[in-house]
Amino acid sequence: MATKSEWQQGVPASRSGSIVSHALQALLALSSRETIKFLHQRGRLLSALVRPSLWLLIFAAGFRDVFGVSVIPPYSTYIEYQVYVVPGLLGIVLLFNGMQSSLAMVYDREMGLMRLLLTAPLPRSVLLTCKLLAGTFLSILQAYAFFAICALFRLDLPWWPGLLLALPAMFLTGLMLGALGLLVSVYIKQIENFAGAMNFVIFPMFFLSPALYPLWKLQESGATVVYQLARFNPFTYGIDLIRYAMYGQMNWLACGVVAASLIVFLGLAIWGYDPQRGAVRHKRQGS
């Protein structure tokens, strides 16, 4: 049997005080786990790609002549409807995966794995941020897989440098939506409630946004209330940020709203997971 001194060789970073190295390892742990689980769940990968593809190939193809899109920024010319909906569909890839991470948090809480995460010797804010980053990396992978599908169908997108320019915009939007997912996971007590809660998050956010049609069309058609709701939807600005970035333009308003929403959502989620103050403390687990 090994002696005590042998077991004390190689002091963990949690004891030596190097919090940056420790946080990076935690990020690696969470990213690896999310990626391995994602790759094991082939159905999830398939549905992550099929969902936006159906919108692109069926909905957009069917409505291409109904929804005429005039020349609006960031476009400098008339575009096909299928080209218009791509940023919105990228947004829904990010939105669904952000919510999927939320589902994973609820599942982990039910399965007990959450305890393992929350008892790691790192501040909860760091752990939750690592969790958020890990989920967002996965979102970005899926977004680029969707770009590959767009390429397969020869859509007239600004491939270069559009794909590269879209990366920071998708990353920021992915973080904001993932943070919203973390916040939602604070308040969903059981996995059975997840689907219901999602109906109040995913679909309103998606439809009350410029994902499928420009917002001015809502205004023009007299749907003022819907238009105003869409203006207060952070997802609206996430899509705008991606749409402008793809065409090499910066939409500062969208960037500001997305960044501010990220700070608010993450701050509330960290507050919610704080054992001293947040909502999670009220959930007694066992006697």
Partner 1 sequence: MARRVCEVWCLGVVVGAVGRAPAAGRDAMNTLSEVSTSSSAPSGEAALALAVEEVSKSYGAVKALDRVSLHVARGEFVALLGPNGAGKSTLFQLLTGLFVPDAGRIEVAGFDMRLQARKALARLGVVFQQPTLDLDLSVVANLRFHARLHGMGRGARARIDAELERIGLTERAKDRARALSGGNRRRVELARALLHDPVVLLMDEPTVGLDPASREQLVAYVHSLCTHRGVGVLWATHLVDEAESADRVIILHKGHWIATGTAAELRERTGQRSLRDAFLDLTGESSVAHEEAV
- Is 77 a binder of partner 1 (CB under 8 A)? no
39 contacts partner 1 (rule: CB under 8 A): no
> Binders of partner 1 among 116-145, rule CB under 8 A?
116-123
**Contact partners, residue 55, CB within 8 Å, separation at least 6:** 85, 89, 92
Choose between 77 and 119: whose C-beta lies nearer to partner 1.
Answer: 119
Phi-psi bin for 249: left (phi > 0), alpha (psi -120 to 50), beta? beta
Residue (28 or 54) nearer to partner 1, CB: 28
Residue 122 or 258: which CB sits closer to partner 1?
Answer: 122
CB 84 within 8 A of CB 72: no
State the residue for tokens 């308003």. 253
- By CB under 8 A, the count of residues binding partner 1 is 44
User: Which span sits near partner 1 by CB under 8 A: 18-26, 55-63, 211-219, 263-271?
Assistant: 18-26
Intra-chain end-to-end CA distance of the chain, in Å: 37
Residue whose CB is less far from partner 1, 124 or 243: 124
Cis ω on the peptide bond leading into residue 121 (within 30° of 0)? no
190 near partner 1 (CB under 8 A): no
Q: Give residues 261-280 in contact with partner 1 (rule: CB under 8 A).
A: 275-276
Task: Please identify, using beta-carbon distances, which residue of 2 and 195 lies nearer to partner 1.
Answer: 2
Q: CA geometry: angle at 248 spanning 99 and 160, to 5°? A: 90
Based on the shown chain and the rule CB under 8 A, indicate whether residue 112 belongs to the binding site for partner 1.
yes
Interface with partner 1 includes 29 (CB under 8 A)? yes
Q: Which of 269, 99, 258 is nearest to 176 (CA)?
A: 258
Alpha-helix runs per DSSP H in the chain: 4-7, 13-16, 19-40, 42-54, 60-63, 81-111, 113-118, 124-152, 159-187, 194-199, 202-207, 215-220, 224-231, 234-246, 252-273
| Binding span for partner 1 by CB under 8 A among 28-36, 60-68, 149-157, 205-213 | 28-36
* Nearest to partner 1 of 112, 196 (CB atom): 112
Question: Applying CB under 8 A, which residues contact partner 1?
Answer: 1-4, 7-10, 12-15, 18-19, 21-22, 25-26, 28-29, 32-33, 36-37, 40, 111-113, 115-123, 275-276, 281, 284-287
